[in-house]
Amino acid sequence: MASININQLGLTIGVFAALCHLVWLVAVAIGIQKFVDWILLLHSIQLNLTLTSVVILNAVLLIVIAFIGGYIFGWVFAAIWNWVGKKIR
């Protein structure tokens, strides 16, 4: 079982998570309320949600926290993968 570079996987998942949240922020900024309502209805969910305007500081914090969370997830996943791989050999 090949080992995984824990830092590389952490960075990869961190950047992916940050990009996903950046896409969400752009979608909110251009106004996707009706789309969100439609997607929820497809799932048989009706909530009284209102998307607010994007606050730059909150947007930056969201992206940073998404990156950090993604990095930690990727790092832990790779560390467990490598540990299990050593036990199997």
Mean of all residue pLDDT scores within the chain: 94
Cα separation, 65 vs 73, whole angstroms? 12
Predicted TM-score (pTM) of this structure:
0.84
Span 28-47, mean pLDDT? 92
Neighbour-count burial of 2, counting CB atoms closer than 10 A to its CB (0-12 exposed, 13-18 middle, 19+ buried): exposed
Enter the DSSP assignment of 47: -
What is the phi/psi pair of residue 45, to 5°? -120, 135
Do residues 84 and 77 touch, judged by C-beta distance below 8 A?
no
